[in-house]
Amino acid sequence: MIFVTGGAGFIGSNFVLQWCAQNDEPLLNLDALTYAGNLANLRALASNDQHRFIHGNICDAELLTQLFNEHKPRAVVHFAAESHVDRSISSPEAFVQTNVLGTFRLLEAARSHWQNLPEDKKAEFRFLHVSTDEVYGTLTQNDPAFTESTPYAPNSPYSASKAASDHLVRSYFHTYGMPVLTTNCSNNYGPYHFPEKLIPLMIVNALAGKALPVYGDGQQIRDWLYVEDHCSGIRRVLEAGTCGETYNIGGWNEKANIDIVHTLCTLLDELAPPSDRGVINQQTGQPVKQYAELITYVTDRPGHDRRYAIDARKIERELGWKPAETFETGIRKTVDWYLNNQEWVRNVMDGSYRDWVAKHYESGNK
């Protein structure tokens, strides 16, 4: 059995679904079901005995010990994290609690479990920590992409908390010899992405005739990775990665935020024409002819990193992994998924979410 934390969130649920579709090894899934954790993501596994879900928090040391003792997993894949930069700016303490203290308590429970395993099982055990490229800081237009040896320089409470967790994981390898692996990924996109992040927010707002809020000048550059590619990369690292090593997982797709927004508008014009849907611009009250009419520039957020880029040559060279999707194929699949899963979207669009978006974006419109 493998033990997954945060398996009801965006990346975690995609990993769980992919795992259960591709092999029959049991999977234990622990998730606190905070605002971004959604059991509806895992509805397809409702009657699948391979998947066992536990509602709980990685900060709960007693629960963790109980789960390791009862299920004796051969591996941990650690997704559970607070992950939204804007939320970390307004409420940083939750990020320290989950990302730092939670990771520490998970490491301690895993170490106790690992140290008591028979020697053959001890050698096979793995602890895979899923992290982000944001720990490396920001790049200028001409800087080379982040490699696994790039010095850490986090610029937000979120990225600082993830950097701290990365260092904790590394220390357990060097201090205790615990067989750990770390992956640092670029920006993910795809199905089940909570509509506070750029791509799903733009899709949801466009279909509702709401403003498409773009921070600053929209020239912030990110490397975009389709979530199912990310999950396959994690599976490959878990299978064959060298203990103590870090592997960058990227999509080789550097795009400016404003270009992403225009791409989404063009795809939506094709796949869900606003005239066919009767979309009304909620700011002007007029029918929307093209979704790009809704683009609205808003005040940039504090400490907004200008560019991220992942050099993913190490994982390709050493483990033979590279992404299967181009940005063009992945983004079309993503838009199709949101158009075909409007019930899922409606179910996550509760009042507290709308209030949060209004607070952080709509009041900043220029």
- Confidence check: pLDDT of 211 > 70: yes
Task: Check if 166 is active-site.
Answer: no
350: pLDDT confidence band, cut at 50, 70 and 90? Answer: low
**Residue 311 placed within a domain:** yes
Q: Which residue in 11, 39, 84, 8 sits closest to 249, CA to CA?
A: 11
Indicate which residue of 86, 134, 229, 305 is catalytic: 134
What's residue 87's pLDDT?
A: 80
Q: Would you call 158 a catalytic residue per the annotation?
A: yes
Q: How far apart are CA 227 and CA 158, in angstroms?
A: 20
The phi, psi pair for 97, rounded to 5°, reads -60, -55
- In the chain, beta strands by DSSP E: 2-5, 27-31, 51-55, 75-78, 126-132, 180-185, 187-189, 212-215, 221-226, 246-249, 254-256, 295-298
The rounded distance, in Å, linking the Cα atoms of 272 and 202 is: 14
Which domain covers residue 315, as residue numbers? 2-192+225-253+303-325
Residue 63 lies in a domain: yes
Q: What confidence category does residue 353 fall into, taking pLDDT thresholds of 50, 70 and 90?
A: very low
User: Residue 245 pLDDT more than 70?
Assistant: yes
Instruction: Indicate the number of domains in the chain.
Output: 1
Q: Tell me: the pLDDT tens digits for 310-340?
A: 999 999 999 999 999 999 999 999 999 999 9
- With contact defined as beta carbons under 8 Å apart, do 2 and 76 qualify? yes
Q: Look at residue 318 and tell me if it is in a domain.
A: yes
In this prediction, residue 354 has a pLDDT band, given cuts at 50, 70 and 90, of very low
- Any domain includes 18: yes
349 belongs to a structural domain: no
- Active-site residue (options: 86, 133, 223, 305): 133
Average pLDDT over residues 288-317: 93
User: Tell me, what CATH number does 87's domain have?
Assistant: 3.40.50.720
pLDDT at 63: 98
Q: Is the pLDDT of residue 357 over 60?
A: no
Q: Is residue 292 part of a domain?
A: no
pLDDT at 37: 84
Question: According to the model, what pLDDT value does residue 363 have?
Answer: 42
Token pair in block for residue 357: 């978006």
Q: What is the reported pLDDT for 351? A: 45
**Is residue 80 domain-resident?**
yes
- Of the candidates 31, 82, 86, 158, the residue annotated as catalytic is 158
Q: Are 198 and 258 in contact (CB under 8 A)?
A: no
In a domain, 235, yes or no: yes
- The model carries a pTM of 0.93
Q: What is the pLDDT of residue 161?
A: 97
State the average pLDDT over residues 286-310: 92
